[in-house]
Chains A and B, each alone.
Chain A
Amino acid sequence: MTEMEEKVGPPDTLVDPIDMSKLDSGFRTEVLSMPNGDELSACFACSTCTAACPIANQWDYKPHQLIRMILLGMREEVLSSKEIWECLTCFQCQERCPQKVRVTDIIFDLKNLAAEEGKVPANVLALGKSLIAKGQLYEVLNDWEREDLDLEPEVPGLETDPIKEILKGTRTGRLAGGDE
């Protein structure tokens, strides 16, 4: 028989208790007032969403935990998490929720709240900036490819100026404004 090593401290399966003084009791109301928050408080933490999520096994905060963290008021942890940005937006969690919580849509709302505080991953911010600069995400670079297929070299009907104008006046404009 191998000798058992003496271990100091609690088993590592346990998590540290939540520091109540750091909770933001208004966070729940804030998310509830977002476009998809309606059914948020119906969550009974069954973790069906987590079972449905293809990538939850590599997340520190699982989808059902994120919902619970909102209800508890863990604003800082949720809005600074990498998880909300790694969400695939595949809607598998939302489709299976027995309580009709719009989990994926709520994660979109969380990203908007994070963005309002300027917390946006660099590559996502770059996409926003490119929308303001070019008015589209993908530009036709090889128009000969189109002509080979009997298509117009430029995309018929596509307009890029209106989207630039719209987004300059909304949050994308404020986010992109910093270093332009």
Chain B
Amino acid sequence: MGCSVPANYPNYEAAMMKVAEELGMDLNYMEGVACCGSPNLRAIDYFGWLVVNARTLAIGEKNGYDIVSPCNGCFASLKDALHHLKHDKKDMVKVNAELKKQGLELKGTIKVRHIIEAMYTDVGPKEIRKKVTKPLDGVGIAIHYGCHLLRPADVTEFRPEILEEMVRVTGATVVEYPLWKQCCGATVLPVNEDLAIRLARDKLKSMKEAGAVFVTVVCPACGNQLDLQQIGLKDSYGEVYDLPVLLYPQILGLAMGMDEEAVGLEMNRVSADPILEHLTD
């Protein structure tokens, strides 16, 4: 679960847990999980970042469950640390020497996935479609994947088509837009806020101009950039986008018949209520 989703986006957490239960997934909170440290920790302390994430991976191996995460940051940290340690025997030995102090050992057998990928592979679009009782009316949704879900592809092993298909399953149309691969700017916030805001703005502009009515994200940091920054753009750029940003499980949950309170729709900064008008019976 990490730290950002529970603290900043409990609506994401609630929607995900409810959807997963409805889909019959065996999704449990991971005992002993720690904050991944984010790319900022990787930047200043590579070894510390490796040990922190190796610890979470080792606990997962011990528990015998796969790890799934709703956050691109945790997902990428865990995948990247695992990828590195599987390819660097020396670091694996060094890291395991540290883990031994906590009675843990990483073998490298654990599987890490994003929750969306787990829904796609373990349940599948066919089964999910059967649960969709209030499909969307074909309204256009732009997908912001988030950099760390897609790249580096040899590490993340995630195909963009997965999320596209998951959006279509809800009855919505996927809107293609020129800047689909571009960063939301979240990572640069601590060192250059103006630049971060500009990146979020370019992204929103590109989506809006391509005809998107809604945006979907699968990462709390990206969600924060695209949703919250819209409020400030009114002053800084004099631009109003009015583009509701929904965490993907919110959309799926609504299409599966859950009500707006269940998926925490009122917590979305740019009012996401208009999506209710696009649900059909």
> Chain A interface (Cβ within 8 Å of chain B)?
35, 54-55, 58, 82, 85-92, 94-95, 102, 104-105, 108-109, 111-112, 115, 120-121, 123-128, 131, 135-141, 145-146, 148-151, 155-160, 162-163, 166-167, 170-173, 175
Give the chain A neighbours of B41 by CB distance below 8 A: 127-128, 131, 167, 172
Q: Are A170 and B51 in contact (CB under 8 A)?
A: yes
Q: Is B108 an interface residue (CB 8 A)?
A: no
Give the chain A neighbours of B51 by CB distance below 8 A: 166, 170
Given A139-B3, A156-B29, A162-B34, are A108 and B42 neighbors across the interface (CB < 8 Å)?
Answer: yes
Given A90-B147, A128-B41, are A146 and B6 neighbors across the interface (CB < 8 Å)?
Answer: yes
Give the chain B neighbours of A115 by CB distance below 8 A: 43-45
Question: Which of B34, B40, B46, B199 is A163 in contact with, Cβ under 8 Å?
Answer: B34
Q: Is B8 an interface residue (CB 8 A)?
A: yes
Question: Which of A87, A90, A125, A136 is B3 in contact with, Cβ under 8 Å?
Answer: A136
Measured CB to CB, the closest approach of chain A to B111, in angstroms, equals 19
What 0/1 pattern do residues 10 to 24 of B give for CB contact below 8 A with A? 110110010000000
Q: Is B48 an interface residue (CB 8 A)?
A: yes
Measured CA separation A88–B147 after assembly (Å):
9
Question: Which of B148, B150, B190, B264 is A124 in contact with, Cβ under 8 Å?
Answer: B190
What 0/1 pattern do residues 28 to 44 of B give for CB contact below 8 A with A? 01111111011111111
5 A-B pairs with the lowest CB-CB distances in the bound complex, closest first:
A170-B48, A91-B151, A138-B7, A156-B29, A123-B190
Q: Are A140 and B47 in contact (CB under 8 A)?
A: no
Given A54-B182, A157-B29, A159-B32, are A138 and B44 neighbors across the interface (CB < 8 Å)?
Answer: no
Measured CA separation A146–B267 after assembly (Å):
11
Q: Is B52 an interface residue (CB 8 A)?
A: yes
Q: Are A140 and B44 in contact (CB under 8 A)?
A: no
Question: Which of A35, A120, A131, A175 is B35 in contact with, Cβ under 8 Å?
Answer: A131
Given A35-B88, A88-B187, A123-B190, are A55 and B195 neighbors across the interface (CB < 8 Å)?
Answer: yes
Given A137-B4, A157-B1, A162-B102, are A89 and B187 neighbors across the interface (CB < 8 Å)?
Answer: yes
Measured CA separation A167–B47 after assembly (Å):
9
Q: Are B10 and A125 in contact (CB under 8 A)?
A: no
Q: A138-B4, A157-B1, A175-B45 are in contact. List 6 more A-B contacts (CB 8 A).
A: A85-B191, A88-B187, A104-B152, A115-B43, A124-B40, A124-B44
Q: Are B10 and A149 in contact (CB under 8 A)?
A: yes
Give the chain B neighbours of A141 by CB distance below 8 A: 7
Given A90-B147, A155-B3, are A160 and B195 neighbors across the interface (CB < 8 Å)?
Answer: no
Q: Is B192 an interface residue (CB 8 A)?
A: yes
Q: Are B35 and A163 in contact (CB under 8 A)?
A: yes
Measured CB to CB, the closest approach of chain B to A159, in angstroms, equals 5
Q: Is B252 an interface residue (CB 8 A)?
A: no
Give the chain B neighbours of A145 by CB distance below 8 A: 10, 267
Measured CA separation A36–B150 after assembly (Å):
19
Measured CB to CB, the closest approach of chain B to A135, in angstroms, equals 7
Residue of B nearest to A113 (CB): B46
Q: Are A166 and B147 in contact (CB under 8 A)?
A: no
Q: Are A167 and B52 in contact (CB under 8 A)?
A: yes
Give the chain B neighbours of A90 by CB distance below 8 A: 147, 151, 182-183, 187
Question: Which of B34, B102, B147, B148 is A135 in contact with, Cβ under 8 Å?
Answer: B34
Measured CA separation A35–B126 after assembly (Å):
42
Measured CA separation A130–B94 after assembly (Å):
25
Measured CA separation A141–B190 after assembly (Å):
21
Given A123-B191, A124-B190, A170-B45, are A92 and B6 neighbors across the interface (CB < 8 Å)?
Answer: no
Measured CA separation A85–B165 after assembly (Å):
36
Q: Are B6 and A111 in contact (CB under 8 A)?
A: no
